[in-house]
Structure 1
Amino acid sequence: MLGIATTMALAATGAFRSAAPAAWRAPGVQCSAPALRGHSVDVTADDMGQGMMGGGYGMRMMRLAAHPAVVPSGVTSLRVFNTGVLTHEVIVLPLPPGQGIGERPTGPDGKIDEAGSLGEASRSCGAGAGDGIASDAMAWTTLALQPGRYELVCNFPGHYMAGMYAELDVTSR
């Protein structure tokens, strides 16, 4: 229910338009993204924090959701909104042929191998890599993506295993 309400609130603000306004702020988020280049993808990072216990996502206690989930190749900007109570990040990894999302092996530290990463959004209220996106904050990154399938992941210990992954498909122009 909360996910549907968040999606409706974002849609009402125009968050899912491909052309970003000069500065954009999601409801309840403490900072704004500047105007970003290329196609915009809004990614929501969510967890079963306070107020969600019992409602949750079943076996997937955390999640990433990307909208739109399909974009044309070229410059793409990810705007990541942390609507959960835990700190999160989003790393972009190519998906090998025949592999689905959520199928990467995790190590004893509860993390996946980030080799081949194309970039990340993990700086609260900023672009690129950092120490994580705080609750009610956002981060962003801009990448040049070739046609293919990509997996967006949160690689904080245990988060991937708890369901923090989403697919982003990039098509030929």
Structure 2
Amino acid sequence: MTKAARGWTIAALVATVALLATSLAWAVGGGVTLSTQRGAWPMFRAGAPGEGLADLPGTVVDVVAADMAMMGGSGMMGGRSADAGSWPSGWMSLTAHRADVPAGTVTLRVVNGGSVDHELVVLPLPDGQRVGQRDVGADGTVDESTSLGEASATNAEGEGEGIAPGAQGWVTLDLKPGRYELVCNLPGHYAAGMETLLVVR
């Protein structure tokens, strides 16, 4: 194994352990608590981020945006830039606390548990297509012309410039029965693993 490959392997292991430790801390109750009840995410309810969230309409789906980027400026382990859209596959994720919901009013509430900005875009999923199969353009994004809405504002509803680390955003939509792909469409994030399935029945 070359020295560079060994460095990447060590960096990936350290990042994986850090992400698993954070997830375990949340699961054990040291931070975020996922639940189907409104008013979840106690870790993020201090001050402005949690204001009024108990009144979100419809079925609330909590989604965690995560990445294995390490703190310290805009850099990432291995020397890749967080702004360059050059993220290794599997270094980011979107995780919804429930994968299916009844049709009607649905609020998607996104907590950014990572260290760079993220967003959530809702895209209908064509028959026969699985999540993660969209074509990624030269700019590192997927076509979002069929988007039904997005949560990309820090501590606010709807569109914005991205949800900052440690913050949250949300979007309320009227969803018909079908399959939807939830994605982060910031450059490089989809290819790095930021997609998940939502089924509306």
Instruction: Determine if the TM-score, normalized by the shorter chain, exceeds 0.5.
Output: yes
Which letter maps to 1:27? M
Give the superposition deviation at 1:68: 0.9
Aligned to 1:36: 56
Which letter maps to 1:48? M
Cα pair distance change 1:7/1:149, threshold 3 Å: farther
Choose from 124, 128, 131 the match for 1:98.
Answer: 128
Give the alignment of 1:115-134 within 5 angstroms.
Answer: 115-134=145-164
Give the superposition deviation at 1:33: 5.1
Aligned to 2:25: 5
Structure-2-length-normalised TM-score: 0.74
1:11 and 1:41 map into 2 onto residues whose CA distance is 18
Structure-1-length-normalised TM-score: 0.86
Structure 2 gaps of 5+ residues are: 1-19, 79-87
Cα pair distance change 1:126/1:28, threshold 3 Å: closer
Deviations 1:46-71 (A, max 9, x none): 000227969xxx84000000111110
Cα pair distance change 1:33/1:93, threshold 3 Å: farther
- Does the 8 Å CA contact 1:29/1:136 hold for their aligned counterparts? no
- Does the 8 Å CA contact 1:33/1:140 hold for their aligned counterparts? no
Which letter maps to 1:32? G
Aligned to 1:137: 167
Structure 1 gaps of 5+ residues are: none
Number of residue-to-residue matches in the alignment: 164
1:64 and 1:138 map into 2 onto residues whose CA distance is 13
State the SS of the aligned residue for 1:27. Answer: helix
Aligned to 1:45: 65
Choose from 69, 72, 83 the match for 2:99.
Answer: 69
- Provide the alpha-carbon RMSD of the alignment: 2.3
State the SS of the aligned residue for 2:43. Answer: coil
Q: Which protein has greater RCO, CA pairs closer than 8 Å, 6+ apart?
A: 1
Structure with the larger strand share: 1
- Does the 8 Å CA contact 2:63/2:94 hold for their aligned counterparts? yes
Cα pair distance change 1:127/1:10, threshold 3 Å: farther
| Match status 1:166 vs 2:196 | yes
Which letter maps to 2:43? P
1:91 and 1:8 map into 2 onto residues whose CA distance is 29
1:8 and 1:73 map into 2 onto residues whose CA distance is 32
